[in-house]
Amino acid sequence: MAKKRREKENLDSQRQSRREILRQRKLNEQKKQVRIGVAIVGGLLAIVFLVAIVNEFFVAPNRPVAVVQGENITLQEWQNRVRLERAQRVVLLENQLEAFGGDVGIIQQFSGQIMVDLQDADGLGQNVLNTMIDELVIRQAAAARGIMVTDEDVSREIGELYGYFGGGLPTPEPEPTETMMPTPSITPIPTQVITDVLPTTIPIPSPTAGPTFTPQPTATPVSEESFNEQYSEILTRLVDLGADEVTYRESVRSQIYRELLQEALVEETGLSSEAEHVSFYLLSYGSEEEANEAVAMIEADTFLNVWNEVRSVPFDPESTSTGSATEVVWRSRTALANSVSPQVADAVFALPLSTPSDLIVSPIDEETSQYFIAMVSGREIRPLSANEIQNAEQENLASFVSLQQVEQVELTGYDRGRVPTQPVLDPLFTQPPTPTPELVDPASAIDDGS
């Protein structure tokens, strides 16, 4: 009996052991499956992470943000240029802060746009991209004309920016040759004689001779050592702010290409250094009613009589008249449009000689206009000023670049959301300026105290 009981217990024990072994095997198998699953998920995550790193640091920087006639502007090139532009603006503001003795108010008054650029990252980024597209169009056009800018050219230009000309002084500009004044193409219109007796001008006494003028000292050439020191200092500041020298040198190279292509296009297009100029008499009024009265007076009399009458009226600060009479001498169409108004320029260049114009209306804003009446007294082809020639050359280049962009430029949109925001604008520059303390009269302070 006892033997049967022991055999039964042994049998139960064996059965229990087999169940535990099977359970343990199943548990181990489940753990193995879990480990394999975790390893697979971990591997996938690692692959995704690795792909993201490769994309972010190797693929994405080389993706184009713009394509100009098959040539790419990469994300990295654009971001580096944005950082350079931001760094240059920060350095400029810091220099101004030092120059103005820490007066933030003056900087806010004169450099407000620079601060706006730094605060509007997207706007600055778009402007930089537009500039880089222009520069690439210019480089391609320059290359097509055999124009090349070497590293030596870039180094020389950087030196000249700092006043370094190989240890010497810059080549002086040639003195302008005096030219004979051209003879007017028409007989000058006689000026109406004013018969009213005007008060005699009080003679001004001759000034007493002052001290002899001391000539300015002769300019000292910038040495190579001085230039290297200045360049190293500014470059260190730019690098500390996130810019790099390669991008800086490329921006200088682009400027040289711009200047050389501009000169080449002047020859290609035959851009003239002369243009039609006019001289004319001009009546100006601030109110339409007064201007219409002047038109009626001219129809009843002559333009010159009315012009002389307005011109001879003595200045009266209490007068309600808005009329004024001026003579404009030899202006080109562009200069006249900029200095007076485009409407006046269009009118006088279409007017026959010695013929009064109709009323010319030049809007100032939505509610205000200025009113003019003109009569041309002379018309000639004359040389343009140096400033007008420079503006014409720049406009000629801008027109060429704009035409090329229409046909050649493709924007990828890959720059969206990737605009660098470093370096940032120091909050110091956006703080309200310190108010100037009011000066207190000591006498009044004593009286108040008593």
Q: How confident is the model at residue 444 (pLDDT cuts 50, 70, 90)?
A: low
pLDDT at 170 over 80: no
Residues 235 and 328 placed together within one structural domain of the fold: no
Task: Show the domain range for 306.
Answer: 275-313+320-383
Residues 359 and 398 placed together within one structural domain of the fold: no
Residues 340 and 403 placed together within one structural domain of the fold: no
Tokens of 156: 């020389």
Q: Please, what is the angle between helix 112-119 and helix 121-144, to 10°? A: 100
> Which pLDDT value is given to residue 202?
34
Tokens of 447: 């009286």
Residues 137 and 38 placed together within one structural domain of the fold: no
> Which pLDDT value is given to residue 189?
40
Total domains in the fold of the chain = 3
> Which pLDDT value is given to residue 320?
86
**Please, is 226 exposed, middle or buried when counting C-beta atoms within 10 Å of its C-beta (0-12, 13-18, 19+)?**
middle
Q: 26 in a domain, yes or no? A: yes
Residues 7 and 156 placed together within one structural domain of the fold: no
Q: 34 in a domain, yes or no? A: yes
What is each CA distance from 128 to 19, 45, 450, in whole angstroms? Answer: 75, 37, 65
> Which pLDDT value is given to residue 171?
60
Residues 364 and 407 placed together within one structural domain of the fold: no
Higher-confidence residue of 372 and 211: namely 372
Q: What ranges in 162-244 are assigned the alpha helix state H?
A: 224-240
> Which pLDDT value is given to residue 312?
92
Q: In what order do the strands lie in the sheet with 64-68?
A: 71-74, 64-68, 409-411
Q: How confident is the model at residue 331 (pLDDT cuts 50, 70, 90)?
A: very high
CA angle 283, 301, 313 (to 5 degrees): 45
Residues 353 and 422 placed together within one structural domain of the fold: no
Q: 152 in a domain, yes or no? A: yes
Q: What's the chain's average pLDDT?
A: 82
> Which pLDDT value is given to residue 435?
60
- Distance in Å from the first CA to the final CA of the chain: 130
Tokens of 264: 């080449």
**Is the separation of the CB atoms in 329 and 350 below 8 Å?**
no
Rounded CA separation 237/91 (Å): 8
Q: 243 in a domain, yes or no? A: yes
Q: 188 in a domain, yes or no? A: no
Residues 373 and 327 placed together within one structural domain of the fold: yes
Q: 443 in a domain, yes or no? A: no
Residues 103 and 231 placed together within one structural domain of the fold: yes
pLDDT at 382 over 90: yes
pLDDT per residue over 18-77, tens digit each?
Answer: 777 777 777 777 777 887 877 787 777 766 665 556 555 555 678 999 999 889 999 999
> Which pLDDT value is given to residue 408?
79
**Is the separation of the CB atoms in 138 and 254 below 8 Å?**
yes
Residues 152 and 236 placed together within one structural domain of the fold: yes
> Which pLDDT value is given to residue 26?
77
> Which pLDDT value is given to residue 146?
96
> Which pLDDT value is given to residue 200?
36
Rounded CA separation 172/183 (Å): 32
Residues 142 and 289 placed together within one structural domain of the fold: no
pTM assigned to the model: 0.70
Higher-confidence residue of 230 and 315: namely 230
**Is the separation of the CB atoms in 376 and 279 below 8 Å?**
yes
Q: 95 in a domain, yes or no? A: yes
Rounded CA separation 66/415 (Å): 9
**Is the separation of the CB atoms in 157 and 255 below 8 Å?**
yes
Considering the chain, what percentage of its residues have pLDDT values greater than 90?
A: 56
Q: What is the CATH number of the domain that holds 363?
A: 3.10.50
pLDDT at 207 over 70: no
Least confident range from 161-165, 364-368, 432-436: namely 432-436
pLDDT per residue over 405-425, tens digit each?
Answer: 777 788 999 989 999 999 998
Q: 180 in a domain, yes or no? A: no
Find the mean pLDDT for residues 241-261: 96
pLDDT per residue over 127-151, tens digit each?
Answer: 999 999 999 999 999 999 999 999 9
Residues 88 and 123 placed together within one structural domain of the fold: yes
| Domain endpoint, select from 34, 61, 88 | 61
Find the mean pLDDT for residues 197-218: 42
Q: How confident is the model at residue 182 (pLDDT cuts 50, 70, 90)?
A: very low
